[in-house]
Amino acid sequence: MIEFYRIVKPKEKIRLDKYLYKAGLGISRSQIQRLVEAQKVLVNDKPAKPHTPLVPGDKVIVNYKKPERFKVESENIPLDIVYEDQHIIVVNKPPGMVTHPAPGNLHGTLVNALLYHCELSWQTDRTRPGVLHRLDKDTSGLLVFAKSDPALLKLAHQVETHKLKRKYLAFAWGKFELNEGTIDAPIGRHAIERKQMAVTPLASRRSITYFKVIQKFRYITYLKLKLETGRTHQIRVHLAHLNHPVVGDLTYNGRKRPLGVPENEFYEIMSIMPRQALHAAQLGFEHPIHKKSVELDTPLPQDMQKLLDWLNHR
């Protein structure tokens, strides 16, 4: 166990989570969030919140276990490259692939594949080079990575200020009453299942998802969704909160047969969709160097297209 101790410097005014991220702890923002939730971060000897403002003279103490050091290796794994120049690369991640290495899962990730193909920026994190945002293992779609340090810093600012635009396609159980709407519900760590997220007022952050119905079927709705914020599992948690879980989602009840769905049709849908039916279809941002607007899209992956075809022929 390591104790991190700092007195905030004169002239420094910053919120706690950003201060800790910049202070050299060597851990991610999500790990910092979990430390704060566990009350292992003290400001002036009292538990604090991520957004707690720090002023010169504040005493910050963190008790944490230093993460294992590991080497991120390049691996010759095929990539579906959608866009690339000397500063950035955008790839279409297949379902089943983890975004970056972590203890216990060091190989076969998208970052391993990218390092074989090109250089990535190591500016801020020696275990997640070039990473700006992530997709869950079983979510497919578009991700942008930084190849140069200036690109990493400028794109990170776009992520932080919600200027990096992401749109998703999903199949959710049930019929939506509204054809479009906004889900504004705070997301935090589940009180009991600590590997899951939940809509909760406790130790949570504001989370906003916009949805629009593309097509309604007998038991399933085909949706387009846009993120205003980017919380862990956000779309999956928000749709499950509405009692419309993403089809095939093992974690958030998407593989539980809804009332009214015939057993034979349910199992046929599950065989078509062995993972959550969620795809990051569109990505938009300002190029970090050239300042030009970049708008990219990718079609439905094979399994989701197969499900759409099946639904259209029922």
Whole-Å CA distances, 226 to 182, 258, 283:
10, 25, 10
How confident is the model at residue 127, as a pLDDT? 76
Can you name the CATH fold of 2-64? 3.10.290
- What is the pTM assigned to this prediction? 0.81
Q: Of residues 124 and 49, which shows the higher confidence score?
A: 49
* 136 noted as active-site residue: yes
The domain segmentation of the chain, as residue ranges, is: 2-64, 81-161, 167-280+305-312
Kindly indicate the confidence band of residue 106, based on its pLDDT and cuts at 50, 70 and 90.
confident
pLDDT in tens, 215-259: 999 999 999 999 999 899 999 999 999 999 999 999 999 999 999
- One of 3.30.2350.10, 3.20.20.70, 3.30.70.1060, 3.40.50.300 is the CATH number of 167-280+305-312, namely 3.30.2350.10
Q: How far is CA 123 from the centre of its chain?
A: 20
Whole-Å CA distances, 279 to 9, 26, 135, 146, 272:
44, 31, 9, 21, 15
Q: What is the DSSP string of 109-156?
A: -HHHHHHHHS----SS-SSSTTB-----TT-EEEEEEESSHHHHHHHH
Which residues does 151 contact at the CB level (< 8 Å), separation at least 6? 87, 88, 121, 288, 289
Same fold, 81-161 and 167-280+305-312: yes
pLDDT in tens, 114-143: 999 999 998 766 778 999 999 999 999 999
Q: For residue 74, which of 103, 109, 123, 121 has the smallest C-alpha distance?
A: 109
What average pLDDT does range 89-110 have in this prediction? 92
Kindly indicate the confidence band of residue 1, based on its pLDDT and cuts at 50, 70 and 90.
low
How confident is the model at residue 283, as a pLDDT? 97
Q: Which of 58, 80, 125, 136 is catalytic?
A: 136
